[in-house]
Structure 1
Amino acid sequence: MGDLKITLVKSTIESKKDQKATVEALGLHKVGSSVIKKDNPAIRGMIKKVEHLVEVEEI
Structure 2
Amino acid sequence: MATIVVKQIGSPIRRPKIQRATLVGLGLNKLNRTRELPDTPAVRGMVESIPHLVTIVEERA
Tell me the TM-score normalized by structure 2.
0.89
Which whole-Å deviations, capped at 9, do the CAs of 1:7-52 have from their partners, x for residues lacking one? 0011010211000000011000100111000101000110011111
Alignment gaps of 5+ in structure 2: none
The residue number in structure 1 matching 2:2 is: 2
Taking only aligned residues, the RMSD between alpha carbons, in angstroms, comes to: 1.1
Alignment gaps of 5+ in structure 1: none
The residue number in structure 2 matching 1:36 is: 36
Letter in 2 for 1:47: V
Matched, 1:24 2:24: yes
Tell me the TM-score normalized by structure 1.
0.91
Identity percentage of aligned residues: 37
Q: List, as ranges, runs of 4+ consecutive aligned residues in structure 1 with deviation greater than 2 Å.
A: none
Letter in 1 for 2:9: V
The residue number in structure 2 matching 1:55 is: 55
